[in-house]
């Protein structure tokens, strides 16, 4: 602590107060004038954009056209970010596109915004996308909302039009400030409008300058998601962005989720020693003791965040393909990554009424409430309490595309009430008693390829050798365990998940399990593989051309599918995704079932080595 400060003398110039920063987003429907409004703000404030104006010859309309073109070129990836400042404040603005298919970009911008400008074309009034954007801004924690009724010059600056739009919008926001403007003429943007003397509120820029930024949390709970562990000669520490509270040297902290206790020894900000660090600052910490702390962990003071593996969350779906309940998606929350499985939505939000509506899945831009579980515990806080520890993204594991954003509402009670029971007899002991190594032989391929025939032969040969086995066949399982499931994509995913969990239990018992299922999707086969220890999942691709499988048609299913009696039949109404790198490939047009069974047995007796991490 500094005990003495230099005294200011009369010759010292007065210290200028530090400019505060406000993050805001512009949003609304297509052609409501967002780019024109932003161009006007940049033109009137002038700061930080003189070069752009100079390149446009000082022509505001050309600058607006340039902003629009740039945004259109970049919206498939992100929003267009702009920076400007006035005499009193700095601003970061996210210019979100109005097109419905780019709702994901609105979510990106609103997730960090403190204020939203929702634009409405005075001629068009409140549209579906206006309601969607207002709802999403509220959902994503933007507490300050301004309804900017633009193009008032095109309706003769009619107050009645403005009042009508304000009333239309009122059901979709708890509190908001309505401002009538004309972005092209500059009315009420940075200067008051003589044409709208009936309006007594602030100008748009005046509102932005007066708005109170969302203050960083001042409670004592310190939260630091670890982005990197630094291990260098003579230095060990962790780095990350503080998302809550503050930290000082000698503070007691915990490493979550392990719960390891230690003390902070040094606090480094921008590489220099600091007396403290607060929310919003990037920091490096060192500890007074050797602790295991790496990326994905969280450094926390008392009043720690919760740890759970089952949640209720609001999902904003961004994928072109529908959400598949029961399918595993990669989930990223702060610096944590895991696999998540979503249940069917409890409901979807009807954008026309903002009321809950029944739903079995979520399509592009759908917003719904879902339960989900993760393959490992996550350190989290409800989104309304902390955006960084409550917001996550979902990633398709096959395409690597971001397909959803989620906001955690709370952990499910059963997440805390169910605990694994340790068992005295281990899986190794059970397998040792049977003198065999547990394996899951997963037969995949089109209907009619020969999966069940070959699997039956393999089991008979293993049984003859004294091996302990069990065969799970697709039709047999659907006659019992999975009789409640249909053949839509979500039900197929759940079918394979249940089979995978059943096979996992059988492997715990030390058995060799054979599973013969079409299992058409790579995502579900990969899910089962990753349930098991390395090397226990053997993927056997029983390969046959569709034309040959259809010619065989042992159960008459292809004929029914061609006749329209079986929708979503694999190969006809639903795709089959062949394995990219199966452990064994059997071509049943060139190999008999007996030869195939012998080849699989030879593989089991002398399996080839596969590179670590190789996945089919």
CATH code assigned at 64: 3.40.50.300
DSSP bridge partners of 379: 307
Q: Answer yes or no: are the C-beta atoms of 371 and 302 closer than 8 Å.
A: no
CATH of the domain at 396: 2.40.30.10
Identify the sign of the CA torsion 435, 436, 438, 441. negative
Kind plus residue range of the DSSP H or E element containing 73:
helix 60-74
Q: Average pLDDT across each block of 10 residues of the chain; the chain has 616 residues. List them in order.
A: 34 62 88 86 68 45 42 43 86 76 76 92 92 89 92 96 95 90 94 95 95 64 92 90 92 91 93 90 92 92 83 94 92 94 93 87 93 93 91 91 94 80 88 93 95 96 95 92 88 91 95 95 92 94 93 89 88 91 94 95 78 41
CA-to-CA distance for 533 and 444, rounded, in angstroms? 20
Note whether 325 and 273 are same-domain residues: no
Domain that holds residue 342: 306-414
585 and 441 in a single domain? The answer is yes
Q: Give which of 276, 301, 305 is closest to 222, Cα–Cα.
A: 301
Q: How many CB atoms lie within 10 A of CB 248?
A: 12
Q: Are residues 455 and 599 in the same domain?
A: yes
For residues 197 and 129, membership in a common domain is answered with yes
Burial 510-532 (b: 16+ CB within 10 A, else e): bbbbbbbbbbbbbbbbbbbbebb
The residue annotated as part of the active site, out of 29, 246, 301, 519, is: 519
The pair phi, psi for residue 119, each rounded to 5°, is -90, 145
Q: Beta strands 402-411 and 306-317: pairing type? A: antiparallel
* pLDDT score recorded for residue 490: 85
Contact 397, 523 (CB under 8 A): yes
612: in domain = no
Is 14 part of a structural domain of the chain? no
- Residue 400 shares a structural domain with residue 432: no
252 forms beta bridges with 263
The tokens describing 599, both together, are 């080849």
With beta carbons less than 8 A apart as the criterion, state whether 438 and 469 touch.
Answer: no
Q: Distance (Å, rounded) from C-alpha 613 to C-alpha 301?
A: 36
CB 588 within 8 A of CB 597: no
199 and 79, same structural domain? yes
* Alpha-carbon dihedral 304, 308, 312, 315, rounded to 10 degrees: 90
Active site residue 519: yes
Give the pLDDT confidence score for residue 54 in this predicted structure.
47
Final residue belonging to a domain, choices 300, 322, 344:
300
Per-residue tokens: 147: 């309804």
Alpha carbon of 268 to those of 250, 287, 580: distances in Å? Answer: 13, 12, 47
Between vectors from CA 146 to CA 145 and to CA 147, what angle results, nearest 5°? 120
CA 107 to CA 503: how far, in whole Å?
40
Specify whether the CB–CB gap between 52 and 63 falls below 8 A.
yes
Q: What residues does 440 pair with on adjacent strands?
A: 513, 537
Specify whether the CB–CB gap between 585 and 543 falls below 8 A: yes
- Position 359 scores a pLDDT of 93
For residues 95 and 81, state if they share a domain. Answer: yes
In a domain, 216, yes or no: no
> 354 with 330: CB under 8 angstroms?
no
Cβ-proximal residues to 188 (8 Å cutoff; 6+ apart), any chain: 179, 180, 181, 182, 196, 199, 203, 204
Domain presence at residue 215: no
**Which H or E element spans position 261?**
strand 260-269
Cα–Cα distance, 501 to 598 (Å, whole number)? 28
Beta bridge partners of 584: 540
Assess whether 194 and 176 both reside in one domain.
Answer: yes
Taking the C-alpha atoms of residue 463 and residue 293, their distance in angstroms, rounded to an integer, is: 48
Query: Is residue 260 in a domain?
Result: yes
Strand order in the sheet with 512-516: 469-473, 512-516, 439-444, 537-543, 584-587
Verify that 484 and 595 share a domain, yes or no: yes
Distance CA 110, CA 387 (A): 11
Q: Is residue 574 part of a domain?
A: yes
Clarify whether residues 320 and 296 are in a common domain. Answer: no
User: Under the phi-then-psi rule, with left for phi > 0, alpha for psi from -120 to 50, and beta for the rest, what region is 32?
Assistant: alpha
CB neighbour class for 462 (10 Å; exposed up to 12, middle 13-18, buried from 19): buried
Question: Residue 107's pLDDT is what?
Answer: 85
DSSP string across 292-360:
---TT-EEE-SSPPEEEEEEEEEEEE--SSPP-TT-EEEEEETTEEEEEEEPPPSEEEETTTTEEE--S
Shared domain check, 171 and 28 = yes
pLDDT value, residue 83: 84
Write out the two tokens for 612: 């670590």
pLDDT for 440 equals 97
Please give the pLDDT value at position 50: 45
Domain end position, chosen among 365, 388, 414: 414
How many Cβ atoms are within 10 Å of 472's Cβ, its own excluded?
21
Q: Is the same domain home to 376 and 394?
A: yes
Residue environment code for 372-396, b if the CB has 16+ CB neighbours within 10 A, otherwise e: bbbeebbbbbbbeebbbbbbbbbbb
Q: What is the pLDDT of residue 214?
A: 64
Strand 177-180 to 89-95 pairing: unpaired
Number of domains in the chain: 4
Among 300, 331, 359, identify where a domain stops: 300
In angstroms, the CA 368 to CA 478 distance is: 30
């Amino acid at each position: 602590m500094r005990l003495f400060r230099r005294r200011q003398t009369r010759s010292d110039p007065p210290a200028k107060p530090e400019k505060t920063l406000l993050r805001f987003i512009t949003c609304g429907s297509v052609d409501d004038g967002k780019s024109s409004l932003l161009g006007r703000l940049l033109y009137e404030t002038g700061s930080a954009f003189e070069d752009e104006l100079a390149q446009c010859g000082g022509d505001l309309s050309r600058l607006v056209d340039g902003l629009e073109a740039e945004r259109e070129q970049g919206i498939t990836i992100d929003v267009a970010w702009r920076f400007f400042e006035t005499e009193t404040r700095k601003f970061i603005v996210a210019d979100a596109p109005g097109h419905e298919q780019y709702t994901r970009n609105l979510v990106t911008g609103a997730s960090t915004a403190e204020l939203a400008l929702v634009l409405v074309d005075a001629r068009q009034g409140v549209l579906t996308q206006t309601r969607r954007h207002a709802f999403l801004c509220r959902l994503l924690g933007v507490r300050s909302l301004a309804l900017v009724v633009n193009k008032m010059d095109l309706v003769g600056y009619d107050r009645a039009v403005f009042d009508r739009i304000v009333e239309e919008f009122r059901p979709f926001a708890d509190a908001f400030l309505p401002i009538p403007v004309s972005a092209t003429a500059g009315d009420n943007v940075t200067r008051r409008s003589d044409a709208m003397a009936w309006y007594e509120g602030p100008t748009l820029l005046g509102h932005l300058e007066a708005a109170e930024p969302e203050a960083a949390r001042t409670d004592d709970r310190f939260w630091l998601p670890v982005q990197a562990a630094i291990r260098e000669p003579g230095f060990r520490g962790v780095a990350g962005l503080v998302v809550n509270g503050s930290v000082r040297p000698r503070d007691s902290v915990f490493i979550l989720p392990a719960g390891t206790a230690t003390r902070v020894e040094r606090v480094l900000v921008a590489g220099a020693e600091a007396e403290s660090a607060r929310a919003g600052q990037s920091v490096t910490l060192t500890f007074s003791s050797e602790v295991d702390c790496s990326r994905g962990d969280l450094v926390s003071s008392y009043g720690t965040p919760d740890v759970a593996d089952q949640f209720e969350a609001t999902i904003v779906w961004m994928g072109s393909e529908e959400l598949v309940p029961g399918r595993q998606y990669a989930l990223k929350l702060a610096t944590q990554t895991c696999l998540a499985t979503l249940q069917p939505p409890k409901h979807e939000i009807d954008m026309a009424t903002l009321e809950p509506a029944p739903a079995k899945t979520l399509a592009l831009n759908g917003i719904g409430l879902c339960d989900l579980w993760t393959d490992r515990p996550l350190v989290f806080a409800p989104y309304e309490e902390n955006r960084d520890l409550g917001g996550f993204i979902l990633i398709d594991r096959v395409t690597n595309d971001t397909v959803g954003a989620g906001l955690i509402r709370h952990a499910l009670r059963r997440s805390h009430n169910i605990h694994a029971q340790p068992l005295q007899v281990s899986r190794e002991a059970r397998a040792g008693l049977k003198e065999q190594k547990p394996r899951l032989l997963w037969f995949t391929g089109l209907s009619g390829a020969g999966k069940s025939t070959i699997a039956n032969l393999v089991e008979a040969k293993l049984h003859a050798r004294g091996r302990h086995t069990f065969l799970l066949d697709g039709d047999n399982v659907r006659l019992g365990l999975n009789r409640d499931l249909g053949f839509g994509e979500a039900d197929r995913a759940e079918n394979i998940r249940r089979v995978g969990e059943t096979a996992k239990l059988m492997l715990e018992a030390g058995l060799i399990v054979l599973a013969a299922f079409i299992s058409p999707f790579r995502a579900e086969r990969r899910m089962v593989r990753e349930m098991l220890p390395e090397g226990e999942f053997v993927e056997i691709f029983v390969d046959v051309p569709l034309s040959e499988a259809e010619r065989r048609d042992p159960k008459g299913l292809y004929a029914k599918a061609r006749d329209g009696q079986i929708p979503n039949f694999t190969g006809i109404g639903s795709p089959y995704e062949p394995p990219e790198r199966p452990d064994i490939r059997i071509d049943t047009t060139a190999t008999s079932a007996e030869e195939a069974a012998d080849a699989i047995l030879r593989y089991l007796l002398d399996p080839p080595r596969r590179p670590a991490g190789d996945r089919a």
